[in-house]
Amino acid sequence: MKEICAIIRRDKLPATKEALAEAGYPSLSIQSVEGRGKQRGELFGGCDPDDYCQMETSVKLRPTPSTYALEHALPKAALFVPKRMLTMVVPDEAVKTVVDAILAVNTTGTFGDGRIFVSPIEAATRIRTGEAGTEAVA
């Protein structure tokens, strides 16, 4: 079993959920997160903001001061971009299918597309039935 954690643009969530359901993997957890990459929260990455507004994304999000920074009186320079984090556990043989489905929807070729992490899972138990192992994940 593997855990797949994908951090994606907020506006790509509906299409990603649909693609995963079509691939046969509708079960997932979703969290609202904020973070930054190499651009340190600068969405424009050195390009003209007007060019950014011409991008295909339907929701244009400007970086916001981190909630943590605001609550702890840190400088506004600590900018973070709002994202969505999807987490799911799948059988080993499904990893490529799931990753490909996420990539197909979320790849725009521009900075901020996100990241996908795959980690091993040692054990899983379904609380309701007590099922363990791959039966708990299905």
Q: CA–CA distance from 98 to each of 3, 36, 40, 82, 90 (Å)?
A: 11, 24, 29, 23, 8
pLDDT at residue number 49: 45
Tens of pLDDT along 87-123?
Answer: 999 999 999 999 999 999 999 988 888 999 999 999 9
pLDDT at residue number 78: 59
Helices and strands counted in the chain (H then E): 5, 5
Q: Is the pLDDT confidence value at 48 over 60?
A: no
- Looking at every residue in the chain, the average pLDDT score rounds to 81
pLDDT at residue number 59: 47
Q: Hey, what domains does the chain have and what are their CATH numbers?
A: 2-137 (3.30.70.120)
